[in-house]
């Protein structure tokens, strides 16, 4: 489990950095979120 | 029992990744000049501030979305707009749905303080949002909305509170 926790922590940090600094990632996240939010609200 | 506990931990940890992505994207947008899609943006800063009489608003029929910022709180979002009898209107659906009301905070905020700035084609207009709850204008307005957008907005839905409609009137 320890390795899994490390993997999760690294993945979360990498995700945050990608959203903040990699062009287009924030828009992709928002677009995907919009799809699921729209379905949930119907 | 142990395997159930571990499964829950694994699922929780994996869910942290998309949650972190969404929270980060939402927070990042707050520092931008305007919104993107669903996340609120910061205040509308760029663009000439319109002064003088209102323009002929019929041009908004060709505009799919506009950016709108409330003064309190100073956050902006992208929304649909309709023109009817040379007045412009914005609205929010899903207001009869708990998830929708959680998602759509701006109508509640706008009812409290309707001062707003909208940006269309790079020009900012100061407006006052006035909620319409009933009236014959809703017949023509909802017809204009459904003609422009794939929307099932009806006068009955507005009067029932499922859709909140605001006139974006000039600010006096």
Q: How far is CA B21 from the centre of its chain?
A: 23
> Are the Cβ atoms of B37 and A27 closer than 8 angstroms?
yes
**What is the per-residue pLDDT for B63?**
94
Any residues with CB less than 8 A from the CB of B128 and at least 6 apart, and which?
B114, B115, B116, B168, B169, B170, B171, B172
**What is the per-residue pLDDT for A32?**
94
Is residue B130 very low, low, confident or very high in pLDDT (cuts 50, 70, 90)? Answer: very high
Number of domains in chain A: 1
Q: Is B166 helix (H, G, I), strand (E, B) or coil?
A: strand
Entry pTM: 0.81
In B, residues 78-137, which contact A (CB 8 Å cutoff)? Answer: 94, 97, 99-100, 103
The residues spanned by each domain of chain B are 48-170
Spatial distance between the Cα atoms of B3 and B19, rounded to a whole number of angstroms: 24
Q: What is the mean pLDDT of chain A?
A: 91
Whether A27 contacts chain B with CB within 8 A: yes
Spatial distance between the Cα atoms of B144 and B88, rounded to a whole number of angstroms: 11
In B, residues 4-23, which contact A (CB 8 Å cutoff)? Answer: 6, 9-10, 13-14, 16-17, 20-22
CATH 2.60.40.420: does it fit domain B48-170?
no
Cβ atoms of residues B40 and B29 within 8 Å: yes
Share of chain B above pLDDT 70, in %: 100
**What is the per-residue pLDDT for B75?**
93
**What is the per-residue pLDDT for A41?**
64
Average pLDDT over residues A20-34: 94
**What is the per-residue pLDDT for B105?**
87
Smallest Cβ–Cβ distance between A31 and the set B13, B20, B37 belongs to: B37
Strand partners, B116: B70, B127
**What is the per-residue pLDDT for B70?**
96
Q: What DSSP letter does each residue of B17-73 carry, written as one string?
A: HHHHHHHHHHHHHTTSSS--SSS-B----SSEEP-SS---GGGGGG-S-EEEEESSS
Average pLDDT over residues B52-58: 94
Instruction: List CB contacts (< 8 A) between A31 and chain B.
Output: 37
Q: What is the pLDDT of residues B3-46, one digit of tens each?
A: 999 999 999 999 999 999 999 999 999 999 999 888 999 999 99
Residues spanned by the domain of A8? 2-41
Full 3-state SS string of B70-136: ECCCCCEEEECCEEECCEEEEEECCCCCHHHHHHCCHHHHHHHCCEEEEEECCEEEEEEEEEECCCC
Name which residue leads in pLDDT, A31 or A1.
Answer: A31
Q: How far is CA B167 from the centre of its chain?
A: 13
Average pLDDT over residues B103-122: 93
Average pLDDT over residues B108-123: 96
């Amino acid at each position: 489990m320890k390795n899994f926790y490390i993997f999760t922590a690294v993945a979360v940090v990498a995700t945050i950095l990608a959203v903040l600094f990699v062009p287009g990632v924030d828009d992709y996240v928002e677009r995907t979120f919009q799809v699921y939010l729209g379905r949930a609200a119907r | 029992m142990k395997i159930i506990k571990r499964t829950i931990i694994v699922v929780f940890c994996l869910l942290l990744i998309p949650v972190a992505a969404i929270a980060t994207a939402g927070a990042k947008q707050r520092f931008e000049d305007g919104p993107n899609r669903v996340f609120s943006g910061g205040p509308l800063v760029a663009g000439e501030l319109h002064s003088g009489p209102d323009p002929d608003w019929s041009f908004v029929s060709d505009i799919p979305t506009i950016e709108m910022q409330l003064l309190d709180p100073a956050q902006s979002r992208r929304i649909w707009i309709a023109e009817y009898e040379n007045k412009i209107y914005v609205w929010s659906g899903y207001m009869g749905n708990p998830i929708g009301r959680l998602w759509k905070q701006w109508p509640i905020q706008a009812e409290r303080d309707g001062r707003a700035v909208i940006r269309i084609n790079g020009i900012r207009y100061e407006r006052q949002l006035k909620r319409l709850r009933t009236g014959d204008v809703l017949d023509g307005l909802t017809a204009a909305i459904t003609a422009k957008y794939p929307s099932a907005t009806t006068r009955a839905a507005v009067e029932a509170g499922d859709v909140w409609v605001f006139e974006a009137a000039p600010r006096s």
